[in-house]
Structure 1
Amino acid sequence: MDGSSSSPYWGLLLRQNVSVMLPIGGLLNATFGNATEMIISIYALKSNMIRVVQQSLLGSILSNMLLVLGCAFFTGGLAHYKKVQVFDKAAAVVNSGLLLMAVMGILFPAVLYFTHSEVHQGKSVLSLSRFSSCIMLLAYASYLFFQLRSQQNVYSPVGEGGENGENSDVEEDLELTQWEAIIWLAILTAWVSILSGYLVDAIQGASESLNMSVAFISVILLPIVGNAAEHASAIMFAVKDKLDITIGVAIGSSTQISMFVIPFCVVVGWCMGKEMDLNFQLFETATLFITVLVVAFMMQEGTSNYFKGLMLILCYLIVAASFFVHVDPKSGDD
């Protein structure tokens, strides 16, 4: 259920001034790419398909962090096998911290539910999820201020060649102006949003016709198709040795989904009277926790090579196989 089909156009925004537009470009990519996911999730919430919302958003995070980033590292490493590719470690560390905070917000409601240690049975998990979602939204807003205003110089791309060196090459590749690219992003986002209702309604039928679980379709198949554009963008910039933009595509989108889209859906469900919470069930929560740890360790050095990319891709294959044999427990089962 990933609506990131508008992602190829966001990179054109960066070609005007890479050193200035990197944080804004990454934010625009994540925002427009994930806007359709938010709309699809709201539509699914109205249809009371809470588990589909949870699984689709989880699948988008896993796909971006393992498959998209892994393919980018792998192809970039092969294209530049004679050297070690580097990226801004400070930005990667901040994103890893936010992802770990998101895991904390999702982990505690699941643990509270499965340990049967609620003060008010059936109500404490929901209350904790809503409180944690508000805190996560506040943290993400603070992160945006930190990234774009307070510490903007921290997120300058590694190895920029100065005002004349890099910008002169960038201006030659200019294809769209900033506002033209934003308008195209908005148009494509609106178009994909129109199709969101048909996508949600087709999930159950596809599960029965393909003889696959809804969990596997929501977590694995749909994000692979939906993230195809992000795949292309991340690989293209990795081959061009612009790993900071690649990190912004893959990890930046995962950060926004986990710290903004998921809490936002909880708050919207609260307003709609739907019991959308952060209890993603034990299996999904454990998968997300291990994935964040693996990616955080892969990025802690600020370097990339094809072997790291291969490891991330193989990890995603393990995750996919796990969900293929996983049966989602019915709502209310212990």
Structure 2
Amino acid sequence: MKQKLFFIGLGIFFVAAGVAHYTHQGPILQFILSCVAVIFVAGFLGKATESVAHYAGERVGGFLNATFGNAAELIIAIILIKDAVNGKPQLFEMVKASITGSIIGNLLLVLGLSVLLGGIKFKTQRYNVMLAGHNASLMLLAVIALFIPAMFFTKLTPGETNTLSLVVAGILIVCYFLWLYFSMVTHKDELADSQVVDEHQEVPWSKGRSILYLVVATVMVALVSEWLVGTVEEFAHLFGLSELFVGAFLIAIIGNAAEHSAAVMLAMKNKIGAAVEIAIGSSLQIALFVAPVLVFISFFMGETMNIVFTVAELVAIGVSVFIAKSISRDGSTNWYEGVLLIAVYLILGIAFFLV
């Protein structure tokens, strides 16, 4: 009965948000309907992810959720890049701000809420220690890759900066695919879930239907996210919000709504391995794959988006990686560690809001 009511609510608000968008209703109405629709769609994606994780394991399930969740992020960014190339170059900065927001949002807000709420229900939650160590190293690689172009920016011409950005982007993409090969093939057993999946656990959907629903939910997330982003700029102007805050926090939170929901739901069911894979894995995917791909997409569109981030963005990413690495490296979590992550997120949010 609950599932039936959920799907009815999903259908009603998804259709209502679409109608409001395509009939050009007021930005406030569009924003509210799209926000509610995002909540339902995120819940749908979370249920599909949990079902897939039952068949494929927590790591693969979390990886699929992060990948499908970031598909919406990628679509939103491509739309902004297209507009930037067509006469709105300031939108490149919003894209980079949204990348920053996605990284810190996943490392601090998504992981923080998952650890906090999961830790309230279960005193200590554990996951693969070796995986935690590799995640920490990859997070540091992401920080290094973003810091170096910014440090050499003043000594390079615009053309050289674009060349450096493309080279760094290419290296990161290669490293990301090698990490997938390492973690999913050559060292799959060493990085396996620390908890055994209960084969007798009841799941609402078959394997084929779970995968189908995961794809359908991703398409719905992409559509609702696009509708929501279309209202954000006007909504921000109505309330006097800066583009940096909009890009780093509003768009990032909206784009990652599905992952927020799925990670928290899994952590509260003591599946912290999948929650960590969604939160940290999604941040790594944004930094090592999505951001570099956007650099190449902008290049092929005719105007390269460099990978030079502002000092504020670099500091935000740096402190986020530092605290997330400190908390996750031992392969265990508790509710107070979630408080620490959320505290850092709130500090950064206030700072970005005031800039």
Q: TM-score, normalised by structure 1?
A: 0.87
Displacement of 1:291: 0.8
CA distance in 1, matches of 2:245, 2:95: 13
Q: 1:207 aligns with which of 221, 232, 236?
A: 236
Displacement of 1:200: 4.1
Q: Which moved more, 1:224-233 or 1:140-149?
A: 224-233
- SS of the aligned residue for 2:189 comes to helix
CA distance in 2, matches of 1:216, 1:210: 12
**C-alpha offsets along residues 29-57 of structure 1, whole Å, 9 cap, x if unaligned?**
11111111111111111100211211112
User: Are 1:103 and 1:288, in contact at CA under 8 Å, matched by a contact in 2?
Assistant: yes
Q: 1:43 aligns with which of 74, 79, 83?
A: 79
CA distance in 2, matches of 1:264, 1:308: 33
CA distance in 2, matches of 1:22, 1:141: 20
CA distance in 1, matches of 2:217, 2:269: 26
State yes or no: 1:314 paired with 2:353. Answer: no
Q: 1:124 to 1:24 in 2, by over 3 A?
A: same
1:7 equivalent in structure 2: 45
Mapping 1:161-200, distance limit 5 Å: 166-168=198-200, 170=201, 173-195=202-224, 197-200=226-229
Between the two proteins, the alignment pairs up a number of residues equal to 310
2:247 equivalent in structure 1: 218
**C-alpha offsets along residues 200-236 of structure 1, whole Å, 9 cap, x if unaligned?**
4433312211111011122112333443332232222
1:55 equivalent in structure 2: 97
1:294 equivalent in structure 2: 323
Q: 1:27 to 1:46 in 2, by over 3 A?
A: same
Amino acid at match of 1:140: Y
Q: 1:244 aligns with which of 270, 273, 288?
A: 273
Amino acid at match of 2:76: I
CA distance in 2, matches of 1:226, 1:129: 24
Displacement of 1:198: 4.1
2:126 equivalent in structure 1: 86
Unmatched segments (≥5 aa) in structure 2: 1-34, 85-90
Q: 2:291 aligns with which of 250, 253, 262?
A: 262
CA distance in 2, matches of 1:210, 1:269: 31
User: Are 2:62 and 2:275, in contact at CA under 8 Å, matched by a contact in 1?
Assistant: no
User: Are 2:69 and 2:256, in contact at CA under 8 Å, matched by a contact in 1?
Assistant: no
1:111 equivalent in structure 2: 151
Unmatched segments (≥5 aa) in structure 1: 327-334
1:101 equivalent in structure 2: 141
Displacement of 1:196: 5.1
Superposed CA RMSD in Å reads 2.1
Q: 1:130 to 1:276 in 2, by over 3 A?
A: same
Q: 1:267 to 1:142 in 2, by over 3 A?
A: same
CA distance in 2, matches of 1:131, 1:143: 18
Amino acid at match of 1:13: V
1:71 equivalent in structure 2: 113
Amino acid at match of 1:31: T
Amino acid at match of 2:144: M
- SS of the aligned residue for 1:176 comes to coil
CA distance in 1, matches of 2:301, 2:257: 32
User: Are 2:70 and 2:256, in contact at CA under 8 Å, matched by a contact in 1?
Assistant: no
CA distance in 1, matches of 2:331, 2:220: 37
Amino acid at match of 1:56: S
- SS of the aligned residue for 2:105 comes to helix
CA distance in 2, matches of 1:27, 1:290: 24
Displacement of 1:149: 0.9
